[in-house]
RNA sequence: GCCGGGAUAGCUCAGCUGGUAGAGCAACUGCCUUGUAAGCAGUAGGUCAGGGGUUCGAAUCCCCUUCCCGGCUCCA
């Protein structure tokens, strides 16, 4: 039989040859390095016989697939170790994931486990790795597999097989055995456990079986594995570095905000944080105005009846805050739209008025479940950069495209490259299928027209319409939704919104909900992590830190600071009686973009010697005028 | 909300198996008048998250509550 290698050479092999045989035929070194084989585009075990005329490619540690393979192997080794250490444990699933793997278990009653148990689990895993256990595959009928797992009390495996039969019509499944452990698994795996060169268990967490909060909570053990000890060490080092960019840590270090038990999930913004906020708000308000969004401001407290009409009462009242004012029940707004609708409804509208675009940096409150709060990323006190567009159906597509372009304009300012998600109709929704077909079609065609890459999130839309979301990752790789553009045919219906058409008949407008930052809180959180606290000049709380050489230069430095303030720049003077070295050090730690030392020389010559953040002094002197105009240029261009 | 972990001075952290709380930085005072990442010395600072229990004795062991961290679910 023949197989074709990636470079086109044809290799002749004995009938029934395996992937391992092919690797050996190419070279002994390759055979030793081989983990698996790609056969006609599918990843397979080396031990399986090759089909005739296949295109093959040997997978080694250098292949991109290698890590996933080895991590999957390590998940099996973890399960093997846990089963030995905790008899009666039930196993469920254990896939490789980005940066590692996990395995979900149901521990027997009374077997409390925590990360304190990792050392002994890891020790047991090492025994399996050292034993160089082969991963051997066995294809069996679904009946045999179910008998086996049912006999062993592995209910989750039985359920998985039942689902394979139901959903995929499976009549056989594959089992993989390494040492004493056999798991239901699609494969493939590397040849044996010795390919796992470095691994570590990283954390433990609860995870619902099948992701369903009504079902059992299993214990998930996370870990990671690499093909060398160095790679593992580098990975752990990278995580440590990423933690230094954590916005909660930097928020404290740079004195931007704090959280307080007196109002969980609600940041207390400090002066430094508000300077960033203010710069963002200015960008937001000028760019909105430029694009025809007119600022409005609406109340936070609104009659409960409004929330009944909007549907929030039915769907979200458990997550809303309420109060009574003179016996009148009021709800604190969780969204701005019903309030903006009141402005729309305040007079008769004509088709000539549309589109009408309102924007508001609206403060909404949502009682997010306690376990979901996360620094600035998930708060209960949310300042949305909200906007609502009221338009005709014909205008929707152009408005959506304009929103997307506006979004990309804003993200470009920060150098953000968001990923896009199109979320389609959820199970629970309002409106007809025709309406949803149309709405999803409009969004999809807008994305296509703009040539944008996006992922489809089936069933993740809002109850009133589909949406396009802009996502960004934080320093540890967690994805957060920032911007969103949502189509809404429902609110106009519920609130009986109309406009007079050219035919003098009442027509129903369509609403587009739009946020670009998403919320100021979350956006600033991402911003902090993205820049690691090294904010571009236009955003930096302190733009120039003035450092008098000694007390006698404090007056001159203050004069300079006043002058910078006159030009709209944020400067502060460090008047403490401390050494220059110390003041520089602390300005560096505060991540001030520029430090100007003011001493005799500067005062005499009317110059400054700007030191740039994280750089050592270059000694160049510039006139004060030139230095200021350079700063102003840098701010005006919003240089990153 | 659920599972696991945590909470010690303003900050970062030490405090082994129970014997009554400690460091560095910050703060304050004094000296130094400082030239590009920490000048020197001294002083002060704690209901060990809150509450209950076990014990002669609890930061330490047990229970409850609050908040935080890592996940899961949720996220209009």
* Percent of the residues in chain A that have a pLDDT greater than 90, as a whole number: 91
Q: CA–C1' distance A240–B25 (Å)? A: 22
Is there a single domain that holds both residue A574 and residue A617?
A: yes
Is there a single domain that holds both residue A413 and residue A455?
A: yes
Closest-approach nucleotide to residue A617, Cα vs C1'? B36
- Residue at shortest CA–C1' distance from B34: A579
A319 touches strand B (CB under 7 A): yes
Q: What is the pLDDT of residue A535?
A: 98
A287 touches strand B (CB under 7 A): no
Is there a single domain that holds both residue A586 and residue A633?
A: yes
Q: How far is CA A551 from CA A300, A548, A599, A610, in A?
A: 50, 7, 10, 20
Burial pattern A250-266, b for ≥16 Cβ within 10 A else e, equals: bbeebebbebeeeeebe
Is there a single domain that holds both residue A468 and residue A523?
A: yes
A380 touches strand B (CB under 7 A): no
- Which residues lie below 8 Å from residue A223, measured CB to CB, with a gap of 6+? A74, A75, A78, A100, A101, A102, A199, A200, A201, A202
A378 touches strand B (CB under 7 A): yes
Is there a single domain that holds both residue A468 and residue A599?
A: no
DSSP A236-292: HHHHHHHHHT-HHHHHHHTT-EE--TTSTT--EE-HHHHHHHHHHHHHHHHHHHHTT
Report the C-alpha gap between A416 and A284 in whole angstroms: 16
Each residue's pLDDT tens digit, A274-291: 999 999 999 999 999 999
Closest-approach nucleotide to residue A513, Cα vs C1'? B76
A458 touches strand B (CB under 7 A): no
CATH of the domain at A617: 3.40.50.800
Report the C-alpha gap between A394 and A397 in whole angstroms: 7
- Tokens representing A479 are 């994805």
Q: Is residue A306 part of a domain?
A: no
Q: CA–C1' distance A587–B26 (Å)? A: 15
* Spatial contact of A565 and A518, defined as CB atoms under 8 Å apart: no
Lowest mean pLDDT among A19-33, A142-156, A205-219, A518-532: A19-33
Rg of chain A (C-alpha set):
31
Last residue of some domain: A509, A531, A553?
Answer: A531
Is there a single domain that holds both residue A290 and residue A405?
A: yes
Phi-psi region of A542 (alpha: psi -120 to 50; beta: other; left: phi over 0): beta
Q: Is residue A104 part of a domain?
A: yes
Say yes or no to pLDDT of A5 above 80: yes
* Spatial contact of A242 and A257, defined as CB atoms under 8 Å apart: no
Say yes or no to pLDDT of A617 above 90: no
Cα–Cα nearest to A613, from A301, A281, A254: A254
Query: Model confidence at A640, in pLDDT bands (50, 70, 90)?
Result: very high
* Spatial contact of A291 and A421, defined as CB atoms under 8 Å apart: no
Q: What is the pLDDT of residue A34?
A: 93
Q: What is the mean pLDDT of residues A333-359?
A: 97
Calculate the CA A433 to chain-centre distance: 31
Say yes or no to pLDDT of A618 above 80: no
Q: Answer whether the bond into residue A553 is a cis peptide, omega within 30°.
A: no
Each residue's pLDDT tens digit, A574-616: 999 999 999 999 999 999 999 999 999 999 999 998 999 999 8
Query: Model confidence at A418, in pLDDT bands (50, 70, 90)?
Result: very high
* Percent of the residues in chain A that have a pLDDT greater than 70, as a whole number: 100
Q: Is residue A170 part of a domain?
A: yes
Report the C-alpha gap between A342 and A357 in whole angstroms: 13
Q: CA–C1' distance A537–B34 (Å)? A: 29
Is there a single domain that holds both residue A126 and residue A224?
A: yes
Q: Which nucleotides of strand B lie within 7 A of protein CB?
A: 1-5, 11-12, 26-27, 31-39, 66-76
Is there a single domain that holds both residue A477 and residue A551?
A: no
Say yes or no to pLDDT of A619 above 80: no
Helices A396-414 & A433-449 angle (0-180, nearest 10) = 50
Q: What is the pLDDT of residue A109?
A: 82
Last residue of some domain: A531, A555, A576?
Answer: A531
Q: Is residue A432 part of a domain?
A: yes
Between residue 532 and residue 561 of chain A, the positions with Cβ below 7 Å from nucleic chain B are: 549-552
Q: Is the ipTM of this complex over 0.90?
A: yes
Cα–Cα nearest to A545, from A487, A495, A496, A594: A594
Q: Is residue A318 part of a domain?
A: no
Residue bearing the bigger pLDDT, A468 or A116? A468
Domain interval for residue A19: 2-59
Q: What is the mean pLDDT of chain A?
A: 95
- Which residues lie below 8 Å from residue A144, measured CB to CB, with a gap of 6+? none
Say yes or no to pLDDT of A553 above 90: yes
- Tokens representing A145 are 């597999």
Q: Is residue A336 part of a domain?
A: no
Query: Model confidence at A430, in pLDDT bands (50, 70, 90)?
Result: confident
Q: CA–C1' distance A176–B31 (Å)? A: 76
Is there a single domain that holds both residue A225 and residue A118?
A: yes
Burial pattern A354-381, b for ≥16 Cβ within 10 A else e, equals: bbbbbbbbbbbbbebeeeeebbbbbbbb
Q: Is residue A340 part of a domain?
A: no
A369 touches strand B (CB under 7 A): yes
Last residue of some domain: A531, A553, A585?
Answer: A531
Catalytic residues of A: 337, 366, 384, 386, 388, 467, 513
A211 touches strand B (CB under 7 A): yes
Q: How far is CA A559 from CA A545, A564, A585, A638, in A?
A: 13, 9, 23, 26
DSSP A431-489: S-HHHHHHHHHHHHHHHHHTT---EEETT-SBTTB-EEEEEEE-TTS-EEEEEEEEEES
A588 touches strand B (CB under 7 A): yes
CATH of the domain at A26: 3.10.20.30
Query: Model confidence at A236, in pLDDT bands (50, 70, 90)?
Result: very high
Each residue's pLDDT tens digit, A393-412: 999 999 999 999 999 999 99
Is there a single domain that holds both residue A524 and residue A504?
A: yes
Q: How far is CA A69 from CA A37, A175, A184, A196, A281, in A?
A: 11, 16, 16, 10, 47
A230 touches strand B (CB under 7 A): no
Q: What is the mean pLDDT of residues A268-275?
A: 97
Calculate the CA A407 to chain-centre distance: 17
Q: CA–C1' distance A23–B67 (Å)? A: 58
- Residue at shortest CA–C1' distance from B33: A550
Reported pTM: 0.95
Is there a single domain that holds both residue A489 and residue A551?
A: no
Q: Is residue A131 part of a domain?
A: yes
Report the C-alpha gap between A382 and A365 in whole angstroms: 6
How many structural domains comprise chain A? 4
Say yes or no to pLDDT of A345 above 80: yes
- Tokens representing A131 are 């034993």
Is there a single domain that holds both residue A281 and residue A392?
A: yes
Query: Model confidence at A112, in pLDDT bands (50, 70, 90)?
Result: confident
């Amino acid at each position: 039989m023949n197989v074709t290698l990636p470079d086109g050479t044809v290799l002749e092999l004995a009938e029934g040859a395996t992937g391992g045989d092919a690797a050996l035929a190419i070279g002994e070194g390759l055979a030793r390095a081989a983990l698996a084989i790609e056969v006609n585009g599918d990843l397979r075990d080396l031990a399986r016989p090759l089909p005739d005329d296949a295109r093959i490619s040997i997978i080694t540690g250098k292949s991109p697939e290698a890590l996933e393979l080895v991590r999957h192997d390590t998940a099996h080794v973890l399960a093997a170790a846990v089963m030995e250490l905790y008899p009666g444990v039930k196993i469920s699933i254990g896939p490789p994931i980005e940066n590692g793997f996990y395995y979900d278990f149901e521990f027997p009653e009374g077997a409390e486990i925590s990360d304190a148990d990792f050392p002994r689990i890891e020790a047991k895993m090492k025994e399996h790795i050292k034993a160089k256990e082969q991963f051997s595959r066995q294809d069996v009928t679904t009946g045999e597999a179910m008998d086996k797992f049912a006999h062993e009390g592995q209910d989750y495996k039985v359920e998985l097989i039942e689902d394979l039969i139901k959903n995929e019509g499976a009549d056989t499944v594959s089992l993989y055995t390494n040492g004493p452990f056999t798991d239901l698994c699609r494969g493939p795996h590397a040849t044996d456990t010795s390919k796992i060169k470095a691994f570590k268990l990283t954390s433990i967490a609860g995870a619902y079986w099948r992701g369903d909060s009504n079902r059992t909570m299993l214990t998930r053990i996370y870990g990671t594995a690499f093909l060398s000890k160095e790679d593992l060490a580098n990975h752990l080092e990278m995580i440590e570095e990423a933690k230094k960019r954590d916005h909660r840590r930097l928020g404290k270090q740079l004195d931007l905000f704090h959280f307080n038990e007196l109002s969980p999930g609600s940041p207390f913004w400090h002066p430094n944080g508000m300077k960033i906020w203010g710069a963002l708000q200015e960008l937001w308000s000028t760019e909105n105005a430029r694009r025809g969004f007119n600022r409005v401001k609406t109340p936070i407290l609104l009659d409960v009846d409004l929330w009944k009409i909007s549907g929030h009462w039915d769907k979200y009242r458990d997550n809303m805050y309420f109060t009574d004012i003179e016996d009148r029940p009021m709800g604190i707004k969780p969204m701005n739209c019903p309030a903006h609708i009141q402005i729309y409804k305040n007079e008769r509208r004509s088709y000539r008025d549309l589109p009408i675009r309102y924007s508001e940096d609206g403060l909404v409150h949502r009682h997010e479940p306690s376990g979901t709060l996360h620094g600035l990323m998930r708060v209960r006190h949310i300042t949305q950069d909200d906007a609502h567009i009221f338009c005709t159906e014909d205008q929707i597509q152009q408005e959506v495209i304009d929103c997307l372009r506006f979004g990309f304009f804003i993200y470009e300012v920060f150098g953000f490259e968001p990923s896009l998600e199109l979320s389609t109709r959820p199970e629970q929704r309002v409106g007809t299928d025709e309406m949803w077909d149309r709405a999803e079609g409009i969004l999809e065609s807008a994305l296509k027209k703009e040539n944008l890459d996006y992922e489809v999130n089936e069933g993740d839309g809002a109850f009133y319409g589909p949406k396009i979301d802009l996502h960004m990752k934080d320093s540890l790789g967690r994805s957060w939704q920032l911007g969103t553009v949502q189509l809404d045919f429902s609110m106009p219906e519920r609130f009986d919104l109309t406009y007079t058409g050219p035919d003098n008949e009442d027509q129903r407008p369509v609403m587009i909900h739009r946020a670009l930052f998403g919320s100021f809180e979350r956006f600033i959180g991402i911003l902090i992590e993205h820049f690691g606290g090294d904010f571009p000049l236009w955003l930096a709380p302190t733009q120039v830190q003035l450092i008098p050489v000694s007390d006698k230069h404090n007056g001159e430095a203050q004069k300079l600071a006043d002058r910078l303030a006159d030009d709209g720049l944020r400067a502060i003077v460090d008047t403490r009686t401390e050494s220059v070295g110390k003041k520089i050090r602390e300005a560096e730690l505060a991540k001030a973009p520029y430090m100007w030392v003011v001493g005799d020389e500067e005062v005499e010559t009317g110059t400054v010697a700007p030191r740039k953040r994280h750089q050592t002094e270059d000694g160049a002197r510039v006139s004060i005028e030139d230095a200021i105009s350079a700063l102003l240029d840098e701010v005006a261009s919003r240089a990153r």
